[in-house]
Chain A
Amino acid sequence: MFEEKENKNKNKLLTIIGIVALIASIIGVSVAAYYWQFTGQTNTISTGTVSMSLLESTDTINIQNALPMGDTAGKALTHADGSSGVFDFAVTTYASGAPGNITYTISITKAAVDTGYTALQDSQVKVYLVAFEGSTETQVMAPTTVDNIITSGDTGTLTFDVDKTSYLTHAHTTANTTQTQKYRLKMWIDGSVDASSWTSSTNLQYKLKINANGQLAS
Chain B
Amino acid sequence: MSNKKVIIVSIVSVLLLVVAIIATSYAVFTANLTGTKENKLTTGYVTMNCTETNFNLTNTHALTDAEGIALGSGNTATCTLTSTMAGTMTVGYDIGLTDVDTATPSDGVGTGNVKIQAKKSIDSGADQYLAGTSANAGVLVSSIASSAGTYDSTNVPSYKIDSATVTGNHTIVYTVKSWVTSIGGSNSTSTTNGKCSDTTYTTESTCEAAGEIWGTDQTATQAGGSFSFKLKIGATQVLS
Binding site for B on A (CB under 8 A): 27, 30-31, 33-59, 88-90, 92, 95-100, 133-135, 175, 180, 182, 216, 218
Contacts and interface: CB of A to CB of B under 8 A. Distances in A.
Given A36-B48, A37-B233, A45-B114, A96 B221 contact: no
B146 interface: no
Interface stretch (B2-10, B59-67, B119-127, B132-140): B59-67
Nearest to A92: B197
B216 A46 contact: no
Contact of B211 (A30, A51, A53, A134): A134
A51 B217 CA distance: 12
**Is chain B's interface secondary structure helix, strand, loop, or mixed overall?**
strand
B228 A37 contact: no
Contacts of B112: none
Contacts of B64: 218
B218 interface: yes
Given A47-B60, A97-B60, A55 B220 contact: no
A37 B232 contact: yes
A135 to B, nearest CB: 7
29 contacts: A34-B46, A34-B236, A36-B48, A36-B91, A36-B93, A36-B234, A39-B230, A42-B229, A43-B56, A43-B230, A45-B178, A45-B180, A45-B228, A46-B57, A48-B58, A49-B221, A49-B224, A51-B221, A55-B215, A55-B216, A55-B217, A56-B215, A56-B217, A56-B218, A57-B213, A97-B60, A135-B211, A182-B213, A218-B61
B226 A218 contact: no
A53 B79 CA distance: 44
Contacts of B236: 31, 34-36
How many of chain B's residues touch chain A, expressed as a range? 35 or more
A42 B54 contact: yes
Contacts of B228: 42-45
Contacts of B198: 180
B111 interface: no
Contact of A37 (B67, B152, B176, B197): B152
B77 interface: yes
A88 B62 CA distance: 33
Given A46-B109, A182-B197, 12 more contacts: A36-B233, A36-B234, A42-B54, A43-B178, A43-B228, A44-B58, A45-B114, A55-B197, A55-B218, A95-B61, A134-B211, A218-B64
Interface string B183-222: 1000000000001011000001000000111111111111
Given A30-B237, A57-B215, A98-B59, A40 B50 contact: yes
